[in-house]
Amino acid sequence: MDAAELILNERGGLYHIGAKPGELAPTIITVGDPERVNLLKNYLDKVHFQIEQREFVTVTGEFDGQPLSIVSTGIGTDNIDIVFSEIDALFNIDLKSGTIKEKITPLRFIRLGTSGGLHPDIAVGDVVVSGYAVGLDALLHYYAHNTTVRIESLEAQVNQITRQTCYAVSGSSTLLNHFSSLGLKGITITCPGFYAPQGRNLRLQAAIPQYLGQLSEVQHEGLHVTNFEMETSGIYGMAALMGHHAISINGILANRERGEFAPDPQKVVESMIKNAMNELSGLLNY
């Protein structure tokens, strides 16, 4: 591939995230908010590498004696496309020759993010672990792939409600089982925006005002649509196509059915992170 496809910076790192091979661990925690990287960094025993570039903050160190990276992605699946493509390239492309390596290194991605709940019985402060993600964005439609990574029966239910072509992908069953004790398992809807795409009305009105409520009735393999956010479908879709493992863990800051928002959002985030890091210790040492 040529220099316009695989773009490097002046230090030989990837164009957006700035990291070079050897500067990331094969287990990566992703967060949307760059400030959340500093919160997670406090859990590391040692820090070996840190770089900040735009909204992408990357820290690599040791947690419980094992290598671990933390990367902020910013908001949206467009940023997930950038971060996952460049992290994968660090492990699976020879950056000097631009050739794909014969042996692909599988990675583990753990999203620790915030989300809104879609059921009255999902309380503010709860945690949802995403078994499946449905993307109302278009990211996966731009990548050549067969449909084996997608769940067509789930897509059909959502397409009928939203009047558009979505994609549905499952998370890693291994990671789902490992982190399932953190909260409720559910289906996560990934929206391509925060206002009208999530049914909010400010000065502009949403074209399908009640569709989130209708989506809460969708179910697949015993799981219901539980929550919505802006990254998980991209994470699950990119990981599935690349042969990586991914899980999304969501702290619920709002309940749209009840019109509630967490009085102390930081407390919800800190509790979710603490519990997830306790579970992560067992995973890294397995």
Q: Supply 183's token pair.
A: 């909260």
More confident residue, 1 or 173: 173
What is the arithmetic mean of pLDDT over 164-170?
Answer: 95
Distance CA 143, CA 35 (A): 31
Per-residue pLDDT band at 18 (split at 50, 70, 90): very high
Q: Are strands 66-72 and 27-31 parallel, antiparallel or unpaired?
A: parallel
What is the arithmetic mean of pLDDT over 179-193?
Answer: 96
Q: Does the pTM of the predicted model rise above 0.85?
A: yes
Per-residue burial over 193-222, b = 16 or more CB atoms within 10 Å of its CB, e = otherwise: eeebbbbeeeeeebeeeebbebbbebebee
Q: Going along 86-153, which residue ranges are E strands?
A: 93-94, 99-100, 108-117, 127-135
Q: Given a cut of 90, is residue 155 above it in pLDDT?
A: yes
**pLDDT tens digits for range 225-239:** 999 999 999 999 999
Question: What is residue 286's predicted lDDT score, i.e. its pLDDT?
Answer: 62
Q: Given a cut of 90, is residue 4 above it in pLDDT?
A: no
What is the arithmetic mean of pLDDT over 109-121?
Answer: 93
What is the arithmetic mean of pLDDT over 107-111?
Answer: 98
Q: Are strands 223-229 and 219-220 parallel, antiparallel or unpaired?
A: antiparallel
As a dihedral over the C-alpha atoms of residue 112, residue 224, residue 145, residue 174, rounded to 10 degrees, the angle is: 50
Instruction: Lowest mean pLDDT of 42-46, 102-106, 117-121, 181-185, name the range.
Output: 117-121
The mean of the pLDDT values for the chain is 94
Distance CA 195, CA 204 (A): 9
Instruction: Lowest mean pLDDT of 118-122, 155-159, 184-188, name the range.
Output: 118-122
Question: What is residue 247's predicted lDDT score, i.e. its pLDDT?
Answer: 98
Question: What is residue 117's predicted lDDT score, i.e. its pLDDT?
Answer: 94
